[in-house]
Structure 1
Amino acid sequence: MTAGFDKVCMVGLGYIGLPTAVIFALRGIKVVGLDIDPVTVETINRGETHIVEPGLDDAVRRTVEAGSLRATTVPEPADAFLIAVPTPFLAGDDGLVPDLSFIESAAHSIAPVLKPGDLVILESTSPVGATERMAGWLAEDRPDLTFPQAHGEASDIRIAHCPERILPGHALSELVSNDRVIGGMTEACADRAAKLYRLAVEGACIETDCRTAELAKLAENSFRDVNIAFANELSLICDKLGVNVWELVQLANRHPRVNILQPGPGVGGHCIAVDPWFIVSEAPEDARLIRAAREINDAKPDWVIAKARKAADEHVAKTGALPRITCFGLAFKANIDDLRESPALEIATRLAEAYPGQVDIVEPFIEELPPVLATRARLARPSEAVNESDIIVLLVDHDDFKAMPVPQAARLIDTRGVWAGHSS
C-alpha cells in the first residue's frame, strides 16, 4: 500500500536526498530523483553513488535495477515532492544569515508540474518561516492552484516541513529508525506528510506546525553546539594551565550527572556549524549564548594553527630548515568523506598556505585533494607521512588512525585525543 503516493520526487540527491530516496524506493515506491548536476544523475542511473555512506552503494544498485529509483535533471509530475537542497549562509550585518536561494530555485523548478492533491515537503534545515516562504514562491508560479497560506485546509497543495535527523555513516538505518518531527502549514498538511513518512519510517512520526518543526531542528543542533563549545573552551583553559584535557574530561564525567563532550579542532558539517546562525539571524539580541558558542567553535581552528606554527618556529630555530607537516584527516567527522564546513580542511589549507610544499595530507576517505589544497599539499599514505614528518597534526579521529601505533619521531599535536598523553 502506498497511501496514494504512487510516485515520489526527491529534489536534491546529496548526503540527505539520495539516502532518503533509497529508503522509499526499497519499499517499492517509485522514486524519481531530481538534481541539477548531470554527472550525479548519470552516476545514479548506472546504479552507482557519488557519496560515501555505508550500505548506500548496494541499496542504489538494487533499487535502480528493480526500476524503483531513477534520476533526472528535468522536473516531472509526482504525488509528493521532498526538497533536500543546501541552505548555506552568507555574511550579514549582524553575523551570518541563511541563503535560501537553493530552496527558491527548487520551488520554481517543481511548480510547473504540480497538480491538485500534491504534497510538498521541505526537508532542508531552514530558518523559521522558510516553509511558508517556499509556499509563497510556489503560489506565485501557480496562481491556478490554491495553497495553505490562503486557503487553509481546503488548499489544492499540501505543504509541510520535516527536518532530517541522521548521523553521517548511519544514514540508511537512522532514516528508518529515528523519530520524525512533521510540521504542516495546516493539520491536514501534517497528516498527509505523516502518511508518506510512515511508509518508510519505523520511528514515531510526530505532527506539529511547520514553524515549530523548523525551530526544533535548529534547537537540537544549537544544543549540541553549545555543549561542544564548552568542551573546546575547556581545552584552551587546560592548555594554559598545563592540564591534560582528555584526562580531565574522563574524570569529570565520573560524576553521575556530568557528561562533558570531547573537544576537537572546531565544529564542521552542514548542520551544527551552520544551524545556530539561523537562530541568531532571527533573534540576534536574545540568542547570546548560542552566538557565543558559535564564536568559540569558529575560533578553535585559529588556536590549532597557532600551536602548529609555534612548533614550526621551534623546529626552524633548532634545525635551520622548514618542517615537514602532516595533517591527519580532512573530513568534518570520523569515518566519512564529507568535507563540508570542516575545521580540519580549514586548518590544513591555512597551514599549506603558510608552508607551501611542506604539508602532507592523510585522508583515507578521499582519492584526491580538494582544489583549495591540490597545488599546495600532497596526499600521502600514513606510513610515509609518519616516517617523513617533523610535525603531525591529528584533526580527525578516523578508526584507521586509532589503529595506528603512536608516532614516535614527530612532534604531535592531537586535537582529538587519539594519542592522548603523547601530544605536545
Structure 2
Amino acid sequence: MNSRYSSVSFVSEKEKDDHKYNKEVYPKGMTEDMKDILKDNKMGHHKHKISAVVGKNDTNVFLPSDRTVIFEDIYWGPEVENSLPEGYGKKATDIWESYMEQAEVVKMELGCGRMQNRLVTFSDGLQACVRYRQNTDQIQGEIFSFYVAKLLNLTNLAPSVVKVVDVKDQLWKNVANDIATAQWSSNRAVVLTQYIPSLESANIPEIFKPSSRHLNKFDVLKMSLKENDTVSKSQVLLEKLKLKHVKKSENKNEKADFDHLDLNLSKKSIDSFVELAQWSDLIIFDYLTANLDRIVNNLFNYQWNINIMDGPAHNLARKIDSGLLLFLDNESGLLHGYRLLKKYNVYHSLMLDNLCVFRKSTIDQLKEIFATKSVGKKLSEEFHKKNNAVIRDILPPLPEKNAKILHERIGKVLGQVEKCEQNFSNR
C-alpha cells in the first residue's frame, strides 16, 4: 500500500545514534511554501551580521569576529549565533496563518497529549495538533505564550493559530462525526499548532543539573578547553593560564581579566553551545510566562525523585535534522502559572538566578519592551490583529493584571542581566 507520508515523526534508534536524517518528512504533493516552514534549514539563512549582534558602533568596544564565542562578558558570540538553527520565525507563522484560512481537516485521531486533544490531517496530508480545553485559560495561555515568543523573536515554538469549532465551517465540515466522538463543544476556541516531524526527546544539560546549576563565561571557557579538539596547543596553554588567573581573581573578589572569548571550536563544542544558547532563551521564556509544565515540573518533583533530572525534560523536544529545541505545550503560561506563583516561583527563579550567558538579541528586545512599558499593548495588538471578532468574542484577551505581572518579570530578567554584568565584568 502506498503511504501518503515519506516518513514519520520518530525515527529508528540507529538514525538517532547517527544523528543523520536526510529523508524528506513532508506529505507527498505538499507545496514548496509549506515544505519551507518544516525544513528548518540552519545553513545559509540564519547568519547574523556582527553589527546586528553587537548593536554598537563605538570603535573602543570589542567587535566580535565569526570565531567569538563570548563577548561583553555575558553574551553568546557570532560563532554560536551563526550556528543556531533557523526555527520558525515570522515567515513560517505567516505561511501557516495563510494556509489555515483555506485548510480542510479530513481526519482526526488520538494524539498530541491530553485526552481531548487531536492530531488532525488536512486534505493535502499536512498535520496539526489541536489543543482543546474546557477551560479557556489554558487556550489563552497557549496562544499568548506563543505571542510572547514572537515578541522576543524566539523561533523555538511551532506556528499556531486560534480557530473556533463549527462544523459548518470549511475547516471542520468533513469531520463532524469525529468532533462528536471527541466530545468537543461547538463554538469552542481551539489552538491549531503545526505538527513538526522528526523529533526526539531533549535532556537537561549537565550544567543545569543540581550538582552545578550555573552558566557563566568561566563555564563556557572550561567547556571549550575540555571538549575542543581543534585549538592549538599554545592557545590551550594560554587559556589555561588565563583560567588559573581567573580562579585566583575570583577568590580575591577581583574583576575577571577577559571580557570575550575567541576560539576555533570543534563541531562538538559548537553543538553543545548551540544547545545552551537555546536553553538561555528557554529559561527566560519559562520565567516570563511562569510555565509550570516543563523544567519546573522536573525541579518540583526532584524532592521525591532525584533521578528525574537525568530523564528527558518535560514538554521539550529536539529536531533531529537541525538540533532546534521545540518548546511544546505552553498552556500553563501567563494565567494558570501566574495564579500559582506563590507556590512555584522559587523554582522559576532557581534557573534564572544561575544564568549569566544570554543571547543579546533576546535581551535587547526585553530592554526595549520594558523601557516603553509596552508588553501589554503589544500583546493586545497581536491578539486583535490575528483573530477575528468571532474568536475574540469567545476567547478573552490577556487580563491587564497579567500583563503587569509579565512586565514585572521582564524587569526581573533584566535585573539578572545587570547582576551578571556586575559580577563578571572586567571594567
TM-score by length of 2: 0.27
Greater C-alpha radius of gyration:
1
Q: Which has the higher contact order (CA 8 A, sep 6+)?
A: 2
